[in-house]
Structure 1
Amino acid sequence: MSASFASALRAASDAASAQHYPQGTLYVVATPIGNLADISLRALHVLQLADSIACEDTRHTQGLLRSYGIEKTGAQLLALHQHNEQEGAQTVIARLQQGQRVAYVSDAGTPAISDPGARLVAAVQAAGLRAVPLPGASSITTALSAAGAVAHSGGQDGFVFAGFLPAKSAERATLIAQQLAHEARCVVLLEAPHRIGELAQALAVLGQRPVTLARELTKQFEEITTQPAQALTAWLEGSPQRSRGEFVVLLHPTAVASDDGKSLQVLRLLLQELPLKTAVRLAAEITGASRNTLYDTALQWKRDGATPDGEAS
C-alpha cells in the first residue's frame, strides 16, 4: 500500500463511518477507471466493512484492494461476471439472506451500465433485498464532461447511451445509417482498441458531424480529441499510440436550424408527391432545416398514422 492511501483509509473512517450501513444489503461500488486516487472515501469504508465482495475478476479486485491496504481472504471474494451473473447472483442473495454486507465492483468504473451488475441488482431486488449505490468514476460521464457535447437548447437536451455497437460490420453499418445518423442528441459509444479502427471507418458516413474520441481516461496517456467523423480514420492512423486503450466515442448533437414552421409545411407538401428520403432531402435544401430533424419528424408522422396533410389516417 502506498503511504498516501494510509491517510485515505483513516479519512474514510472519519468521513463515512457515521452513516448506517445495514446488514443484508448489496452495495454497488464504483471504482477508479485508471487513476487509483479516484476512489471515494465512502467506497473505501464500505470495501473495508463488507463481509463479501463480488467482482468481475477476483485477481484484479484483490490487487485493487491491496493498493489501498484492504485485505480480504479468498473466501470473501466472489467471481461474478457476464458469463455467470445469473448463477452468481443466487450466491450473493444467499449471503445477503444470512445478514452479510456484500459489495459489488466491476473491473473499473460504475457497475451495471456497460459492465455486469444489472442482472445482479435486479435479482437482489426481486428477492426483496436492498441495493445501495455508491457513486464514483464512470468513463461515460468523464468523457461527456470534457467534450462539450451535450446540448442544452434547441430540443436536443441530454444524451443517448448506445454502448458497444455490433461486432459484425454489416449490422454496425446498418445501425449507424438507420438510427444513429438520425439521432439529433449526443450519442455515447464505447469501443475496444482492437476495433476502434473499424468503428472509425463505419462512422465516416456521418461526414462533418463532430465526434469526440476519449481514450485512456484518467491515465498517464489520456487523450481527448474532437474530429469530423470523416477524419477519424486519418487521425487514428497519425500515430500507433492513438489506437491504444479503451475508448469512449461521442457523436455530437446535430445542428438544428431555427424554424418558424415553414420547413414542416414544405415537408408535408413534398411527402404528398415524393418518397420519404427524397422529400426530406429537398425540404432540407429548400429551407435550411436539419435533414436529420426533418427525417425524424417524418418518421414520427408515419408512426402516428398521420397523413402528409396533417390529418390522422
Structure 2
Amino acid sequence: MHTVAVLAMPDTIAFDLSTPVEVFGRVRLPGDRPGYRVLICATEPVVAAGPLRLATDHGLDELAQADTIVVPGRNDPSAPIPEAVLDALRDASAAGTRIVSICVGAFTLAATGLLDGRRATTHWTAADQFRIAFPTVELDPDVLYVDIGQFVTSAGATAGVDMCLHLVHRDYGAAVAADAARLSVAPLFRDGGQAQFIRRNTPGRAATALGHILEWIEENAHRDLSLDDMASRAAMSIRTLNRRFHEETGQTPGQWLNAVRVRRAQELLETTDHGIDRIAHQVGFTSPTNFRTQFKRISGVAPRAYRSTFRHG
C-alpha cells in the first residue's frame, strides 16, 4: 500500500494539513481496498495548527518509510524551519521519495535546496516573497500545481485538492481518481489556473515614480489609448517611458494597460449581465477577438468560463 506522510510543523495551516488526509484517506481501490495509508508526522508530540492543537503518534523518523511526503504551508512561511525537518526531506529525496507541497509549503521544500533550478509554484499572494527568498527556483505563480516528477508543488487552498487528485490519477489511474474526485465533490481537472484569481495591476501596487501616469491609465483605460498618448501624458519620450515601465513594473506600458482593462472586465463579468463583446468595448478593447485573446493570456481562462466561476448569484 502507498504510504503518505503529512509533515506537521508548528503553525501549520490546518486546511493544508487536512486536505491530503481527507483526499488520500478516502481513496478506494477495487474490492474496497484503501489506496493509501496516511500518517501525520510531527516535529513534536503536540503541534499548533492555527487555533487547533494536534497530537500525533508519529515523528520525523517515519518520513523515511513514506512513498510520498506532503509538506503543508505554515501561517508564517518565513518562520525558521527546524534543521531536522530539512535533513529528513533531503534524506527522503535521496532515497527517491516523492515530496509534494501545498500552498506556502513550497517555502519549506525550497529551503532544502531541492527545488533549485526547477519549476515550482506557491500561493500567488506569496509569489514576490518566494522569489526574493529563492531566486534560483523557477516560480510559476499562475498555475494550480506543478508536477516535475519527484517534486510536486501546488498553489493555495483548494489547489491542494487539485494536486492530490492529480497524484491519485498518477498512482492508480483515471477511474480511481474520478471516484476520489466525486467523494471530494471536486472536478478531477479544473479549467484554468491560479491566474484567474489574481487581481492584476491594481491601483497603488506600482512604484511611486510612475504613480501619476498609472493613475491616469487607470482613469482612462476605457479610451483608445496609444503609446504616444501615454508618453505625452507622462511628459517622456516613448523610449524613456518604456524603460521606466520595465524598471518599475517589469512590464511594457501596453502590457500594463491590457492588465488594467482585463481587471475591469473581470469586475463586469462578475457583476453584470452584459455580453462579452459589449464588455470588451466598455473596458477599452476595440476588437472583441483581441479582448478574448488578452483575457485568456492574463487570467488563464476564457471570459465566459471566468463568468461561470465568479458570477455573483
Superposed pair shares fold, TM > 0.5: no
TM-score interval, smaller chain = under 0.3
TM-score normalised by structure 2 residue count = 0.25
TM-score normalised by structure 1 residue count = 0.25
Larger radius of gyration: 1
Q: Which has the higher contact order (CA 8 A, sep 6+)?
A: 1
